[in-house]
Amino acid sequence: MATWSSYSTPSQAQRELGLFCLGAGEQENPPGATPERALGCHALVLVRQGRGHLLHGADRVLHEVEAPALLWLFPGVRHGYRPSTRWQQSWILFGGSAAGALTTLGYLDAAHPVRRYADSREVERAFAKVLRVTRAGGRSTDVQAVAAIFELIGAATRDESAGDLVERLQGLACRPLSIQQYAEALGLSVHDLRESVRSAAGVTPQEVILTTRLNTAKALLAESDLPVAAIAREVGYEDPAYFSRLFAARAGQPPRAFRRIGSLAGRKSSFRGGVRPRSESIG
C-alpha cells in the first residue's frame, strides 16, 4: 500500500453544505503503540489488514481491532493505536453541522468506536470512492465528497436484519397496539425492539409507528373520499379529534386542509396505494 495524504480547507460556501471533507489518505502502521492524541474533527479509519487494539477515551479503554474494521473517532476524544501486527489503513477527516445530526440519529456513536460491518465489499467500495474523489480534486470535489461520505456512513452502519425488522414494524404500525404488544408480535423484548430500530433507523419504534401512520393517512386523504374519522380508525386512532390534532401538529395543517391543498388531482373513490392497513388488534 502506497502512503499518501491530502488535506483541504473548506470555504464558507463549502461549510454551508453541512458536511465537508478535511483530509484523506492511506498508510501502514507497524506493530507498537502510537502517540495518543485528540482530533479537532471527526475521523473514520478503515483497517484493511492487521489486528491489535484502539485505546480510546479519557478512561483509556482498549477496544479489540481485527480487520476488516472501522474506527470511529470523535473530536476532542483522545485515542491511540496499538497494532499487534502491521496495520494497513485508509482514513478520512470530516466535519460540519451534519455530523451533529448524524450523532443525534445514532449513525455516529462515540460509545462504539470500533465496528465490524455486514457487507465488506459495499463499505470498501464506498470508502474507495471518498478517497478517489478527495484525491482527484477539482471544482466538483466538494459536492461529490459530501455525497460519498454520506454513502460511506450509510453503508458502514447498515444492518440488514434490523432494516427488515423496521419494515415488519411498519407493516404492523396501523394496528392499535402498545409497544409491548408490537414487541411480542415481532418476537422481541421491548428493549431489543428499541435497540434494533434505533440501530437501523436512528429513531425510536414510536417514531417509526407514528410516521407510518401519518404517511398512510396522507395517502388516504389524497387518494380516497373516506371521512376523516374513518381514516383515523384505519391508521390506529379511535379518537378522530386526537388524530386531527396529532396530524396538524406534525403536518402543519389539519387533515381537511391537507385534503384540499395536498390531495392529488382526480381523487379516487377508494384507496389504491397498495394493501390498505388494518386497524384491528392482533389475535
Q: How far is CA 126 from the centre of its chain?
A: 15
pLDDT tens digits for the chain (283 residues)?
Answer: 789 998 888 889 888 989 999 999 999 999 999 999 999 999 999 999 999 999 999 999 999 999 989 999 999 999 999 999 999 999 999 999 999 888 887 788 888 899 876 567 888 888 999 898 888 766 656 788 889 899 888 888 765 555 588 889 999 999 999 999 999 999 999 998 998 888 777 789 999 999 999 999 999 999 999 999 999 999 999 999 999 999 999 999 999 999 987 654 344 434 433 334 433 333 2
Residues 150 and 169 in one domain: no
| CATH number, domain with residue 248 | 1.10.10.60
Assigned domain for 64 exists: yes
The candidate with the shortest Cα–Cα distance to 232, out of 250, 218, 211, is 218
Cβ–Cβ < 8 Å for 172, 185: yes
Q: Among 158, 192, 216, which residue terminates a domain?
A: 158
Q: How distant, in Å, are the alpha carbons of 117, 157, 165, 166, 170 from that of 173?
A: 29, 24, 12, 10, 5
Assigned domain for 92 exists: yes
Assigned domain for 272 exists: no
Assigned domain for 244 exists: yes
Residues 24 and 146 in one domain: yes
Structural domain boundaries, residue 207:
161-262
**Polymer length in residues for the chain:** 283
Q: How far is CA 188 from the centre of its chain?
A: 22
> Which residues contact residue 248 at a Cβ distance below 8 angstroms, ignoring those fewer than 6 apart?
254, 255
Helix/strand number for the chain, H first, E second: 11, 10
Q: Residue written as cell 459530501? A: 146
The number of distinct structural domains making up the chain is 2
pTM of this prediction exceeds 0.85: no
Residues 121 and 168 in one domain: no
Q: Among 125, 143, 158, which residue terminates a domain?
A: 158
